[in-house]
């Protein structure tokens, strides 16, 4: 089977690594001359808006998927006229727009933050007044790793709102004079969350849905630092007991979203956990950083299951690798420690993405799989090494 991937980053690389044993071949399209997929796939280096390159890319492929959320929707819809594209382009359009994501949650009865859109400074002032402070102002599109957002503190005045408008309207439209332009922003209630969580699930072309155990996530400077599965309590035994209940609700929510979007492939949904309740924040219509632990930590990882789904193959089991297993995934950001030091921890699996080090850049990750009794010690050991090279 010949699979096309839009985007040639580490997610594409891990898709290709998972697909080669299944007899799959890969072609990626990515504007960069070299990318993490170059050594594992045929690489067409071209802009996503280059129609001739898109046609060359599509030629002879059985199915197309994407690993980069900000590919232009026009590129995906053009490809869909020639070759099946999964997840469906509609899911990508929703995932690219925070307003459409939140509206979808609300339509499905999934708890989310209160929100209001704003496309001018006047609308932003009105939206902040209706949501109240503190609140979070975000660009509707193109935000990632905490970029394109700002927090307005309690009792923020009109000067603070104007400052946020200038900052984000520039991000949103690249305008040199943001005060006179329009911009697509969203204002969200600030959630003083106890923890962050995500669920990764997969839906097959036949409509079968399987979800991985709920994951607990920890960010640093807006970048994912650590994921742990299954989700465990954040303090005290009452919360630990509640974790089972929220995991079930997360699974129900993701199943509803998959059905509504007639989805095929892997989808991630991110949540805040506040006072024992889940509050949906966003979706990612692709394999996801908070699911990297599934490669070694579950029976069949997210990358293989995504390929099975889009390739019309039966899905693999999403349970933990062995009964009583826990998995931790630690991101390597900006640089990486000596591989030999990481692998001194016998339960650790190292993934380097073939990227050059740069501050704030995800260059690899380490997954630790161990029993509940060993996981904390093994995770700490890896985290100490990762923290020392974090840039
Ligand atoms: P996002 O790009 O929406 O995933 O936001 C990046 C990070 O900012 C999240 O992981 C949270 O830590 C924080 N954040 C985003 N939205 C909110 C919110 N409404 N309330 C509190 N924290 C938020």
DSSP assignment of 118-149, as one string? ESSHHHHHHHHHHH-SSEEEEESSS--TT-SE
Task: For residue 298, give the DSSP letter.
Answer: B
27-47 as b/e: b if 16+ CB within 10 A: bbbbeeeebbbbebbebbebe
Ligand 1 atom closest to the Cα of residue 191 is 20
d(CA 308, CA 92): 19
Residue 20 CA, ligand 1 centroid: distance in Å: 36
Centre of ligand 1 from the C-alpha of residue 158, in Å: 23
With a threshold of 0.85, does the pTM exceed it? yes
For ligand 1, whether the C-beta of 375 sits within 6 Å is no
Taking the CA of residue 189 as reference, the ligand 1 atom at the shortest distance is: 19
Ligand 1 atom with least separation from CA of 146: 6
Token duo for residue 293: 């632990």
Each of the 391 residues of the chain gets a pLDDT tens digit; together they read: 999 999 999 999 999 999 999 999 999 999 999 999 999 999 999 999 999 999 999 999 999 999 999 999 999 999 999 999 999 999 999 999 999 999 999 999 999 999 999 999 999 999 999 999 999 999 999 877 778 899 999 999 999 999 999 999 866 655 555 555 568 999 999 999 999 999 999 999 999 999 999 999 999 988 999 999 999 765 444 454 556 689 999 999 999 999 999 999 999 999 999 999 999 999 999 999 999 999 999 999 999 999 999 999 999 999 999 999 999 999 999 999 999 999 999 999 999 999 999 999 999 999 999 998 899 999 999 999 999 999 9
CB 199 within 8 A of CB 270: no
């Amino acid at each position: 089977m010949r699979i096309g991937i839009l985007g040639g980053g580490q997610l594409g690389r891990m898709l290709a690594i998972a697909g080669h044993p299944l007899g799959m071949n890969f072609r990626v399209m990515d504007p960069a001359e070299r990318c993490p997929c170059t050594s594992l796939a045929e690489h067409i280096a071209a802009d996503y808006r280059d129609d001739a390159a898109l046609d060359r890319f599509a030629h002879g492929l059985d199915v197309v998927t994407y690993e980069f959320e900000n590919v232009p929707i026009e590129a995906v819809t053009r490809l869909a006229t020639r070759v099946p594209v999964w997840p469906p382009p509609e899911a990508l359009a929703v995932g690219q727009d925070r307003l459409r994501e939140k509206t979808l949650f609300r339509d499905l009865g999934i708890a989310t933050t209160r929100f209001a859109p704003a496309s001018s400074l006047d609308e932003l002032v009105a939206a902040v007044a209706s949501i109240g402070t503190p609140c979070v102002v975000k660009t509707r599109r193109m935000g990632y790793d905490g970029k394109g957002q700002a927090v307005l503190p309690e009792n923020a005045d009109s000067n603070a709102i104007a400052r946020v408008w200038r900052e984000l309207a520039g991000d949103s439209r690249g305008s040199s004079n943001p005060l006179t332009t329009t911009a697509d922003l969203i204002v969200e209630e600030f959630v003083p969350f106890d923890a962050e969580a995500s669920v990764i699930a997969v839906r097959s072309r036949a409509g079968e849905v399987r979800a991985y155990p709920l994951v607990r996530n920890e960010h640093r400077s807006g970048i994912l630092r650590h994921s742990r599965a299954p989700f465990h309590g954040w303090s005290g035994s009452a919360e630990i007991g509640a974790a089972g209940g929220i995991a079930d609700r997360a699974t129900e929510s993701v199943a509803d979203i998959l059905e509504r979007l007639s989805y095929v492939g892997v989808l991630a949904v991110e949540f805040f956990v506040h006072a024992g309740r889940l509050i949906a924040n966003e979706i990612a219509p692709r394999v996801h950083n908070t699911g990297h632990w599934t490669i070694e930590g579950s029976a069949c990882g997210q990358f293989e299951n995504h390929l099975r789904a889009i390739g019309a193959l039966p899905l693999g089991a999403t349970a933990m690798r062995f009964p009583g297993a826990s998995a931790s995934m630690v991101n390597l950001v900006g640089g990486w420690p000596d591989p030999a030091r990481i692998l001194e921890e016998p339960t650790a699996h190292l993934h380097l993405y073939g990227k050059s080090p740069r501050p704030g850049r995800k260059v690899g990750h380490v997954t630790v799989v161990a029993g509940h009794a060993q996981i904390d010690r093994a995770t700490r050991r890896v985290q100490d090494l990762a923290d020392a090279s974090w840039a």
